[in-house]
Amino acid sequence: MEKKLKVRNFFQIIEEQQTIVNISRQTAPPLKLADHPQVEDLGFVRLFPTGKFGYSHERRIKITPHQYFRTRLLSSDQRFSSTEYLLYSLCRVEEYLIRSKISVCTNVERQDYDAAQQQSSLNLHFYIRAIRGTSSYWNLYLSEVLSMIQTLGGPTFFMTVSYDDINSSDLINVINQYKHSELVDPTSLSYEEKRQLLNNHPLLSARYFNHRIQSLLELYKTDESVFGYRMIHFTARIEFQSRGSPHCHMLLWLDKVPEIQSEEGIKFVERNISCALNVDQRETVENIIDTLIQKRVTKENQVIIDSIILKVFAN
């Protein structure tokens, strides 16, 4: 009979040899960008296998971080479209903006400016307002909007544009063609597959939404038949919902709009603003109301809701 080979595990070997194995890991402080200019080349090995040609690489023509990372992210090379590299690019660009602001403020302090200008250079908000999303940035944006209202008058419309990205056949086809170089029927993909496509390509999804918003605004500028009057000015703010989908808030100023209280103004409002709901069953209305109020209903509100439902079906 063949003799079976007995295989010993790691712990049996340690017990037999009666040795103590000490495994220690020496930690080091985070790398500083000033001390390690090639941190991009070393940190993203898959993107820079030779350890060269990152932002710190010497070039004949000097470029800014914004120009460099924009070229990387918008290139056809799909390796640079990862979420990790996107966040790293954002950090580097924001750092460059803050350093530029600090440099400007330092020059203001060194030169012979008045006391008011020197005092403003010491204000922290002056440095941070160049970074989008910060409170200082939005305070500056608010001041610009208030200046527009003071100059142009009140806006004609406040509009919110949402985008159903996960059910958009155009966007899903664009992403799938970018990934697999072929078109696909979006209805053949499951919800999880479409969600994964959007999560893996956040930059492409955001750019697609931005192109649609720009096309919509261009339509408002050139085509008077949309509102009945031409749009002359606008301001827009893009936000992202908790699930990551973007939506846009806009203020629109139209040219030579009649007074709202006049007969022409009433016709203008009725032409552009309406509300309708096609209801076939009581259950449909109840589901809509439950969704809107998130099932937080008091007894007083429930009486009002029941009366609304009865009026809808009575008509």
So what's the pLDDT on residue 177? 76
Tell whether 277 is covered by a domain: no
Tokens of 315: 């008509």
**pTM for this entry:** 0.67
Q: Please give the residue that has the higher pLDDT: either 177 or 26.
A: 177
Question: Own/partner pairs for 41-48, CB < 8 Å, 24+ apart?
Answer: 43/88, 44/84, 44/85, 44/88, 46/79, 47/79, 47/80, 47/85
Check whether residue 86 and residue 132 sit in a common domain: no
So what's the pLDDT on residue 117? 54
| pLDDT over 60 at 66, yes or no | yes
So what's the pLDDT on residue 269? 87
Check whether residue 266 and residue 187 sit in a common domain: yes
Beta bridge partners of 310: none
Check whether residue 182 and residue 208 sit in a common domain: yes
So what's the pLDDT on residue 253? 92
Q: Please give the residue that has the higher pLDDT: either 265 or 283.
A: 265
Tell whether 221 is covered by a domain: yes
- Average pLDDT of the segment spanning 189-211: 84
Q: In terms of residue numbers, what domain contains 85?
A: 39-122
| pLDDT over 70 at 179, yes or no | yes
Check whether residue 160 and residue 244 sit in a common domain: yes
172: buried, middle or exposed (CB in 10 Å: 19+, 13-18, 0-12)?
buried
Tell whether 73 is covered by a domain: yes
Check whether residue 165 and residue 266 sit in a common domain: yes
Of the listed ranges 76-80, 148-152, 237-241, 266-270, the least confidently predicted one is: 76-80
Of the listed ranges 19-28, 152-161, 202-211, 245-254, the least confidently predicted one is: 19-28
- Average pLDDT of the segment spanning 22-43: 70
So what's the pLDDT on residue 281? 57
Tell whether 76 is covered by a domain: yes
So what's the pLDDT on residue 284? 65
Check whether residue 141 and residue 211 sit in a common domain: no
What's the domain count of the chain? 3
So what's the pLDDT on residue 252? 92
Tell whether 61 is covered by a domain: yes
Check whether residue 163 and residue 139 sit in a common domain: no
Tell whether 299 is covered by a domain: no
- Average pLDDT of the segment spanning 223-244: 85
The greatest distance separating any two alpha carbons of the chain, rounded to the nearest whole angstrom, comes to 108
Check whether residue 169 and residue 252 sit in a common domain: yes
So what's the pLDDT on residue 234? 92
- Mean pLDDT is highest, among 9-13, 34-38, 268-272, 295-299, for 268-272
What pLDDT band is residue 255 in, cutting at 50, 70 and 90?
Answer: confident
Q: Please give the residue that has the higher pLDDT: either 229 or 19.
A: 229
287: buried, middle or exposed (CB in 10 Å: 19+, 13-18, 0-12)?
exposed
Check whether residue 69 and residue 102 sit in a common domain: yes
Tell whether 12 is covered by a domain: no
Of the listed ranges 44-53, 176-185, 256-265, the least confidently predicted one is: 176-185
C-alpha span between 306 and 284 (Å, rounded): 13
Residue with tokens 């969704």: 291
| pLDDT over 70 at 116, yes or no | no
C-alpha span between 136 and 124 (Å, rounded): 9
Check whether residue 160 and residue 260 sit in a common domain: yes
| pLDDT over 60 at 40, yes or no | yes
Check whether residue 143 and residue 226 sit in a common domain: no
Tell whether 146 is covered by a domain: yes
Check whether residue 266 and residue 160 sit in a common domain: yes
